[in-house]
Amino acid sequence: MEKYMRRCLQLARLGEYYVAPNPMVGAVLVSADGVIVGEGFTAPYGGPHAERCAFADHDLRFPGVAVDTLVVSLEPCCHYGKTPPCADLIIRRGVRRVVVGCLDPNPLVAGKGIEKLRNAGIEVVTGVLEQHCQWVNRRFICLHKHHRPYVILKWAQTADGFMAYLPQGEGEQPRLHVSTDLTKRLVHRMRAENMAIMVGTQTVINDNPRLLCTHWSGRNPIRVTLDRHHRLNPESRIFSDEAPTIVYSDDTDWRHITEDLASRGIHSVLVEGGARLLQHIIDSDIYDELHVEVGEQTIGQGVMAPKVELKQCRLTQIRQQRLYEWTRQTPPL
């Protein structure tokens, strides 16, 4: 069943930039002699689920062929959300067997989808490539399991460990450029992969960023920042109408912010700096991944990058840049 599940995971990723806050799911329908006779993946948020799309695909391309097994990367749902329950559809379609990658942690489902299928006499096999299926939806699973978004910290620093020039009085600050065109594009891909993006007050003041996803396909993330001393100019580009923006000014404790983001249904946040905010989060130990880009230049003095041990990180070299990546959970091969 693994080869069918691998295909489900490929299909699931086709929805990657559009389905949040829903999980990305892939489903295939298999005939009794092992041929794939229908494929589907979760439609953009609010649209039909993977299973429903797979049956629609079957009806178009293989209308006369009987379906024996449904293989799906996440437990089929059994609740009415924006769409009706997949479990009911599967039962109605007379499938003999359902093969599931991992359980749906959403308390409205959480095992009840599988139970419903079994009660209807369908054979259910679970846990096929389970870790892979969980990894694909680690953001969605984190939200439901820990009631906080999946947190990714990202910054760029010089070879001598600085992430910005020292402030020089009033007015425009000179910008330190570490990223290259290629790594900037990779950052925009990360923005597309996450529901929210966050920077500290000083970054808004110094860089006046838009924090949009312009160099990758996908939706703009929700922008998040802090403003404890009401220093932000309402004309800042972070307040443009291209994406929503959330500002925390009273309670800027990281744990409380993550709880609030979770209560808004936000399953992931990419934190792009600056140094103080990143260090506060690192000290709180509430984060899941680190992505640190180290350029080759040295500047002698500046704003120091957060202190973390890069030794355990996976290292990738992109031309002159070194990219260090660390995840709390080990990704499956």
Residues belonging to the active site: 51
Of 78-86, 159-167, 197-205, 320-328: span binding Zn ion (CB under 5 A): 78-86
Q: Where do we find the tokens 């290629």?
A: 182
Q: Which residue has the tokens 């000014």?
A: 249
Q: Tell me which of 7, 49, 139, 223 binds Zn ion, using CB under 5 A.
A: 49
Classify 248 as helix, strand or coil: strand
Contact partner at residue 104 from Zn ion, ligand AOF, none, CB < 5 to 8 Å by partner kind? ligand AOF
Closer to Zn ion at the Cβ: 42 or 321?
Answer: 42
H/E element, 140: helix 138-146
Distance (Å, rounded) from C-alpha 296 to C-alpha 317?
11
Could you give the count of Cα atoms lying within 13 Å of 128 in the half-sphere of its Cβ?
A: 22
Q: Which is nearer to ligand AOF, 140 or 162 (CB)?
A: 140
26, two tokens: 């892939």
52-91 residues near ligand AOF, rule: CB under 6 A: 74, 76-77, 81-83, 86
**101 binds ligand AOF, rule: CB under 6 A:** no
Query: Does residue 116 belong to the site contacting Zn ion (CB under 5 A)?
Result: no
Site size with Zn ion, rule: CB under 5 A? 3
Q: Give the CA radius of gyration of the chain.
A: 23
Q: Give the 3-state secondary structure of residue 298.
A: coil
3-class secondary structure, 105: coil
**In the complex, minimum distance from the CB of residue 78 to Zn ion, in angstroms, rounded to a whole number:** 8
In this chain, which of 4, 20, 22, 152 binds ligand AOF, going by CB under 6 A?
22
Does residue 42 belong to the site contacting ligand AOF (CB under 6 A)? yes
H or E element that contains 276: helix 275-284
Q: Chain centroid to CA 12: how far? A: 13
Q: Could you tell me whether strands 321-327 and 162-164 are parallel, antiparallel, or unpaired per DSSP bridges?
A: unpaired
Pick one of Zn ion, ligand AOF, none as the site partner of residue 42 (Cβ within 5 to 8 A by kind): ligand AOF
50 binds, among Zn ion, ligand AOF, none (CB under 5 to 8 A by kind): ligand AOF
Tell me which residue has tokens 């399953």.
Answer: 267
Residue 128 contacts which entry, Zn ion, ligand AOF, none (Cβ below 5-8 A, type-dependent): none
Could you identify the residue written with the tokens 């529901």? Answer: 195
- Phi, psi (degrees; rounded to nearest 5) at 69: -130, 140
**Continuous segment of H or E residues that includes residue 32:** none
What is the rounded CA–CA span in Å between residue 7 and residue 85?
Answer: 23
Residue 303 binding: pick among Zn ion, ligand AOF, none (C-beta 5-8 Å cut-off by kind): none
Interface with Zn ion (CB under 5 A), residue from 86, 266, 270, 305: 86
Of 49-57, 118-126, 180-188, 230-238, which part binds ligand AOF (CB under 6 A)?
49-57
Residues 302-321 touching ligand AOF, rule: CB under 6 A, are none
Per-residue binding string, ligand AOF, 121-160, x by CB under 6 A, is ----------------------------------------
Beta bridge partners of 324: 292, 315
Q: Which residues bind Zn ion (CB under 5 A)?
A: 49, 77, 86
Q: Which residues bind ligand AOF (CB under 6 A)?
A: 22-23, 25, 42, 49-51, 74, 76-77, 81-83, 86, 104, 106, 109
